[in-house]
Amino acid sequence: MYYLITAEDFVRVPAARLGEDIEKVVYSELEKGLSKGIFEIEGNKGVMVAVEKIYDVGEGKIIQGDGGVYFEVRFTVVAEIPANLECVKGFVRSIMDFGVFIEIGTFDGLCHISQIFDDYGSYDGRNKMIVGKGTGKKLMSGDEVKARITTISWKDDVFNTKIGLTMRQPYLGKDEWIEIDKKIHEKDEKMKEKESKSQKEEPRGKDEKKEKKK
């Protein structure tokens, strides 16, 4: 999920850029550092996606041996803070024999092959897709899907942070799967009604035979 966060930090301005508009330089230096490191605020971890506004740039401070100048800056950023059990939307980036990688905003999540369908999934290497054995559902690169976050293993940056996903729950996965599930459910309900009807009729037949014997 995305949030607007107000933060304060020191931004290093290289000596070669000190003659430029400081606020513009601070803005560009802040943007350079976006999406590289993980931050934590009030116990929640995430990544900064875009600088929304700079409110205040303080006086510059010089550190001995460093050619740059450090400015204390108060600013607002758009931050992506994924949470466990959150429903997310994304695109399938790549298909592997063990599952699929899904691009969800700044992060990539892994959906293991056992968590793609509520069905047995098999890897079709020739066509680069995962296929549901019983339902016929198909998943390919570029497909838009909905998934739920099941695990987050935080590291120091976006690239090494691992997110686990599932699409086995109702209304997750591709939109077209909802119709497939609906048809399967209707078929199961009809089968149950048929079985229930036949079970109710069976005792009557037996009773009739007993009466004839008498």
Per-residue pLDDT, 196 = 74
Q: What would the mean pLDDT of 33-44 be, rounded to a whole number?
A: 77
pLDDT in tens, 53-62: 999 999 889 8
Residue 197: what pLDDT? 73
pLDDT tens digits for 129-146? Answer: 999 998 889 999 999 999
214 pLDDT above the threshold of 90: no
**Can you tell me the mean pLDDT for 96-103?**
96
Given a cut of 60, whether residue 51 has pLDDT beyond it is yes
Mean pLDDT, rounded, for 196-209: 62
In this prediction, residue 91 carries a pLDDT of 97
Mean model confidence pLDDT for the chain? 87
What does the pLDDT read at residue 88? Answer: 96
Q: What is the pLDDT of residue 134?
A: 87
What confidence score (pLDDT) does residue 170 get?
A: 86
Q: Domains in the chain, please, with CATH?
A: 2-80 (3.30.1490.120), 87-177 (2.40.50.140)
Confidence at residue 95, expressed as pLDDT on a 0 to 100 scale: 96
Q: What pTM value is reported for the model?
A: 0.76
DSSP per residue, the chain: -EEEEEEEEEEEE-GGGTTS-HHHHHHHHHHHTTTTB-EEETTEEEEEEEEEEEEEEEEEEE-TT-SSEEEEEEEEEEEE---TT-EEEEEEEEEETTEEEEEETTEEEEEEGGGT-SS-EEEETTTTEEEETTT--EEETT-EEEEEEEEEE--SBTTT-EEEEE--STT-B-HHHHHHHHHHHHHHHHHHHHHHHHHHHHHHHHHHHHHHH-
